[in-house]
C-alpha cells in the first residue's frame, strides 16, 4: 500500500494538553488513514548538519524516550510519556536508500522523540502502538537539497510507511499575540504557500524568501528549521506531485496550524 506523506504543524508544546479544532482534526486524521506499519518523521526540533535518525535504545527496552525539550509550561506537560517502539526493519531501508543517494548518515541510539515528533504522533495515534523513526533536518541546506533528501525515501511510502514532516509554515514566536483574528501578514504568506504547493511550483518555493509576501516575518532567520520539514515531506511525493491542504487555522494570531497531504487521493475526514 502506498501511503501519502504529510506536513503537520506541531504548534506550541501546550497543544498536548489542549482540546481544540486542531487537536480533534489530528485525531480524526489518524483514524482516517490506513494503519501504517511504521512512521518516519522529520522534526524541526532535530536540526543538525549530519543526517541522523533514531535507532534502538537498549537502555529504554527498545522504545524511544519522550523528550521534554521546552521550559515554562504546566507541570502536567512534563509528565506525558509517548513510548513508541523503534522500527529496525525501516531503519535498514532508510540506511540503504541514503547510501543509494550518496548521503552520509548516522544512527543515534539514545535520543528519543522530541516534542515536534511526539506531540503530533500522540494526537494522531494516542495508543502509541506504531513503531517510529525520527529523522533530523538540516535548516542550513537549501530547500532544493531538503526536497532531494525526501526524494530518496519515496519508496518507503510503498512499504506502508507513513512519512511526516513536523514544523510550521508561519512560526515567529516574537510576533505571537492573544488576538482572536489571524494576522493578515500570516494569512497572506500561507495563501502564497498554498498556491505554490497546489501547483507544485518548486522554483518559486525554493526561493520563498524572495518571492513570498512577509517571508521574513513568517520564516525568520532564527526559525527556518520549522519550514524545512515541509520540503522533506514534499520530496517523498515527487513522482506524483499532488498536494492537498487538509487543515488551516492559527493560534496566538499568527502561529500557523496547517496540515498538507502530498501524494495519493485526498483523505476523507469526517466532520468534527
Q: In the numeric block, which cell numbers belong to residue 90?
A: 525501516
Dump pLDDT digits (tens) for 119-162.
Answer: 999 999 999 999 999 999 999 999 999 999 999 999 999 999 99
Given a cut of 70, whether residue 51 has pLDDT beyond it is: yes
Burial per residue of 1-33, b for 16 or more beta-carbon CB atoms within 10 angstroms, e otherwise: ebbbbbbbbbbbbebbeeeeebbebbbbbbeeb
**What structural domains does the chain harbor?**
5-262 (3.40.830.10)
Strand partners, 7: 165, 260
Low-confidence winner among 82-86, 226-230, 231-235, 244-248 (lowest mean pLDDT):
82-86
CB-CB contact of 147 with 231 (8 Å): yes
Confidence band for 61, pLDDT divided at 50, 70 and 90: low
The model's pLDDT over 68-118, given as tens digits with 9 standing for 90+, comes to: 999 999 999 999 999 899 889 999 999 999 999 999 999 999 899 999 999
Q: Which helix (H) or strand (E) holds 150?
A: helix 143-152
Look up the pTM and report it. 0.96
Contacts of 66 (CB under 8 A, 6+ apart): 80, 81, 82, 83, 112, 113, 118
Helix (H) / strand (E) containing 257: strand 255-262
- Write the pLDDT tens digit of every residue in 11-35: 999 999 999 999 999 999 999 999 9
CA pair distance 1, 33, nearest whole angstrom = 12
> 181: exposed, middle or buried (C-beta count within 10 Å: 0-12, 13-18, 19+)?
exposed
* DSSP type of residue 64: P
Please tell me the predicted confidence (pLDDT) of residue 86.
87
Amino acid at each position: 500500500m502506498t501511503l501519502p506523506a504529510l506536513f503537520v504543524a506541531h504548534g506550541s508544546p501546550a497543544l498536548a494538553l489542549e482540546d481544540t479544532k486542531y487537536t480533534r482534526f489530528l485525531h480524526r486524521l489518524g483514524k482516517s488513514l490506513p494503519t501504517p506499519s511504521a512512521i518516519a518523521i522529520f522534526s524541526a526540533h532535530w536540526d543538525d548538519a549530519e543526517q541522523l535518525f533514531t535507532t534502538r535504545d537498549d537502555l529504554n527496552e527498545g522504545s524511544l524516550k519522550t523528550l521534554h525539550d521546552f521550559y515554562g509550561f504546566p507541570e502536567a506537560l512534563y509528565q506525558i510519556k509517548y513510548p513508541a517502539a523503534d522500527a529496525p526493519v525501516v531503519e535498514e531501508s532508510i540506511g540503504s536508500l541514503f547510501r543509494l543517494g550518496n548521503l552520509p548518515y548516522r544512527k543515534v541510539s539514545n535520543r528519543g522523540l522530541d516534542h515536534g515528533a511526539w506531540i503530533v504522533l500522540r494526537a494522531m495515534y494516542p495508543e502509541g502502538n506504531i513503531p517510529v523513526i525520527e529523522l533530523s533536518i538540516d535548516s542550513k541546506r537549501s530547500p532544493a537539497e531538503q526536497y532531494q533528501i525526501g526524494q530518496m525515501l519515496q519508496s518507503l511510502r510503498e512499504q506502508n510507511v507513513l512519512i511526516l514532516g513536523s514544523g510550521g509554515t508561519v512560526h515567529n514566536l516574537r510576533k505571537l499575540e492573544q488576538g482572536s483574528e489571524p494576522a493578515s501578514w500570516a494569512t497572506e504568506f500561507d495563501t502564497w504557500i498554498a498556491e505554490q504547493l497546489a501547483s507544485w511550483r518548486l522554483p518559486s518555493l525554493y526561493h520563498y524568501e524572495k518571492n513570498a509576501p512577509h517571508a521574513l516575518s513568517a520564516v525568520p532567520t532564527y526559525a527556518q528549521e520549522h519550514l524545512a520539514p515541509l520540503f522533506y515531506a514534499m520530496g517523498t511525493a515527487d513522482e506524483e506531485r499532488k498536494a492537498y491542504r487538509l487543515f488551516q487555522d492559527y493560534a496566538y494570531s499568527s502561529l500557523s496550524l496547517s496540515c498538507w497531504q502530498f501524494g495519493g487521493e485526498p483523505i476523507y475526514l469526517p466532520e468534527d
